[in-house]
Chain A
Amino acid sequence: MNTTDALVSVEQVTRLFPLDHNAVTALDGLSLTIAHAEFLAISGPSGSGKSTLLNLIGCIDKPTSGRIFIEGVDTSRLSPSETSVLRREKIGFVFQTFNLIPVFTAAENVEYPLLVQGISGSDRRRRVTQALDNVGLSARAHHRPDLLSGGERQRVAIARAIVHRPALVLADEPTANLDTRNATQLIELMRDLNHTLGLTFIFSTHDQRLLEHTPRIVHLTDGRIESDTISETSHAEVLAASVS
């Protein structure tokens, strides 16, 4: 798969963080290619560079060297406002701590990305209803986050991440703050969305429950790829499901 065919292409990316008079290497010349409709986990111990890699793919951080392409676009050449537009239109984010806007209801939180895109009111309402339906939270649409359980909040976060039909959903440790039951349900939900909507999910985790359901696992150690395990069957299933 070349750079233009891939959804995400990471080429020789290094990210250094200055610390006193030295620099910490979070990613060290890492290269990775991710196709459309993949369900990919980035695993590894703490400090291995999982979150840094997600931040770079999500265009919320810049590599010290190397390039990242999203749908063939070299993100290093984009201006800050172009990067902002790319994030707005192509990427959905799910955070470990949910990061919902506390003064908005579940529906309003889901609506927010559409609002930023300037989508009309009637279209927004239709798509919010659809997204909440996709995550099974239609009945909780008008509840504020503080009235939702952890699992429900993360479902709202997923609905918010998918409502604008992004090319890519990035999830940073999405099950870290959930109990086993909610974590399992969330994994099933993400997998289901990956199957039914053909959405590409990239998430960082060291949660074994999540890894068991993941067809492709990229394992990082000290900012480098230690292993990249792909289950071809699973990927083929996803592609078939999305085509159908």
Chain B
Amino acid sequence: MLKFLQLAFRNVFRNRRRTVMTLLMVGGGVAGLLLVGGFFAFMFRGLRESTIRNGLGHIQIFNAEHFRRDEVHVLDTGISDWQHVASNVRSADHVRGVAPRIEFYGMLSNGVKSSVFMGSAVDPDAERAMSFSPRLAAGRDLARASSGEVEALVGTGVARSMSVKVGDGLTILAVTADGALNGIDVQIVGIVNTGFKDLDDRYLRITLPSAQRLLQSDRVTNLVVGLDKTENTDAVAAAFTPRLSGLSQEMTMKKWIDLAAYYKQVRTLFSGIFLFLGIIVFFMVLMASVNTLLMAMMERTREIGTMLAMGTPRPWIVALFMLEATITGILGAAVGLIGGNLIGIALNASGLHLPPPPGLSTEMAFRVLHVPALMIGASTMVVISLALASILPAVRASRLQIAEALAHV
């Protein structure tokens, strides 16, 4: 068996130039997949973390009624005893903080022009404790204890359409929990760029007490929980279950992945693109390898005839060709892994940035993550491609007529 392996290994390097070309082709395929897949992985991770840190959090806790029926009045499916619920979950492992939120909507006006907003009321200190800071284009974040003025952050699109800047005032109007119309004046302390243009055109953020005064309710829409690591989400969610039972209101929780619809759409789209790319690479490696192996078979026709004449079982010839192709695949994968990772390191060090993708308003860093699962997957794929590519030449070689093969020139 060892001799047979030696024979296969030496045959791989019999025609060095052709082997080098094959290894470069196979390695190029692996490196290409590592770079594209590594970039996609970076993009997914960036999108995941930015989605979480832009306010989604890792876990959100709701009144179970919130998902059973539509609200008749604002916050009537909110959490009433939210301080008690928050203290119950805050003590769990891996929890960095718990932030109450109110999601509401209404109209805002600069006295001349009115526009619809989607509002979010937060506890600024609790948000900052979990690094959920809004991405400010100008001004500062909200302060918990303000000087009497109601502070507000608005999106870049709102600021542009309402022609306001930091320090200007706006009036916001909303329907209260009792169904009445209420309004308060706010002072803009910061302009926010969320990265999503549609959101920037409707974004408004005020403090929780201000929103509760505006909406005439002490309830909150949900509690947003931030964790030390995204990878701990499932474990923490499991630990929350007993802590959320037996309360005055029935509670339910959603993990970030359940709420991140945009993230899921992007991931599905790019995973599809990556799969398509993988299939193309697979067929490129397959076709080119079939050609190379057929050439090798033709060149060795007389040698195969000699081996068969000496009584070599035909399955051995098939196994020999498949072994040679598998060795080539393994070496090619190694070349690709080394090359792909080195190019990835070089690209990461170059500090490249890409233009903003559709729907986003900021440049995107170009980074390549080194993903072990991707390395194993890409390597396995090319090894299988080579092994499959060798079947046709191997079977042809094994079926050679000995007398004809020995007479082959």
Identify the A interface with B (CB < 8 A). Answer: 55, 58, 60-61, 80-81, 84-89, 93, 95, 97, 99, 101-104, 108, 111-113, 115-117, 160
25 contacts between A and B (CB under 8 A): A60-B403, A60-B406, A61-B403, A84-B314, A85-B311, A88-B310, A88-B311, A89-B311, A93-B306, A95-B306, A95-B406, A97-B302, A99-B303, A99-B306, A99-B406, A101-B303, A103-B10, A104-B7, A108-B6, A112-B310, A115-B4, A116-B312, A116-B313, A117-B311, A160-B310
CA gap between A231 and B6 in the complex, in Å: 47
Which among B14, B309, B313 has the highest number of chain A CB atoms within 10 Å?
A: B309
- Once the chains bind, are B402 and A116 in contact (CB under 8 Å)? no
Q: Are B311 and A84 in contact (CB under 8 A)?
A: yes
Chain A: minimal CB distance from B398 (Å): 11
Given A99-B406, A103-B14, the answer on whether A60 and B7 have CB atoms closer than 8 Å is no
Q: Is there a chain A Cβ closer than 8 Å to B84's Cβ?
A: no
Known: A81-B313, A111-B3. 5 other contacts (CB 8 A): A61-B403, A84-B311, A87-B309, A102-B14, A104-B10
A101 contact set on B, CB distance < 8 A:
7, 303, 306-307
Give A58 to B402 CA distance when docked, in angstroms: 11
Interface residues of B (CB under 8 A from A): 3-4, 6-7, 10-11, 14, 302-303, 305-314, 316, 401-403, 406
Main secondary structure of the interface of A (DSSP, over half): helix
B309 partner residues in chain A, CB cutoff 8 A: 58, 60, 87, 93
Q: How far is the CB of A122 from chain B (nearest CB, A)?
A: 14
Q: In the docked arrangement, what's the CA distance between A84 and B4, Å? A: 19
Nearest chain A CB to B220 CB, angstrom units = 76
Closest 9 CB pairs of A and B: A88-B311, A103-B10, A60-B402, A99-B306, A61-B403, A87-B311, A55-B403, A84-B311, A60-B403
* A11 → chain B closest CB, angstroms: 20
How distant is A22 from chain B, measured CB to nearest CB, in Å? 19
Q: Which of A103, A104, A113 contacts B310, CB < 8 Å?
A: A113
Contact status B311-A116, CB under 8 Å: yes
Among B3, B6, B303, B310, the residue within 8 A (CB) of A93 is: B310
State in angstroms the CA–CA spacing of A85 and B312 once bound together: 8
Contacts of A97 in B (CB 8 A): 302
Question: How many angstroms from the CA of A93 to the CA of B402 in the assembled complex?
Answer: 12
State the CA gap A87–B312 with chains docked (Å): 9
Partner of A61 from the list B7, B11, B402 (CB cut-off 8 Å) is B402
- Measured in the bound complex, the distance between the Cα atoms of B307 and A113 in whole Å is 9
Bound-state CA distance A116–B308 (Å) is: 10
Q: What's the nearest-Cβ distance from chain A to residue B404, in Å?
A: 9
Chain A residue numbers with a CB within 8 Å of B306 are 93, 95, 99, 101
Instruction: A81 to B312: give the CA distance in the assembly, Å.
Output: 10
Q: Which residue of chain A lies nearest to B315 when distances are taken between CB atoms in the complex?
A: A81
Closest-CB distance, A117 to chain B (whole angstroms) = 8
Cβ contacts under 8 Å, B313 to chain A: 81, 84, 116
Using Cβ atoms and an 8 Å threshold, which residues of chain B touch A104?
7, 10
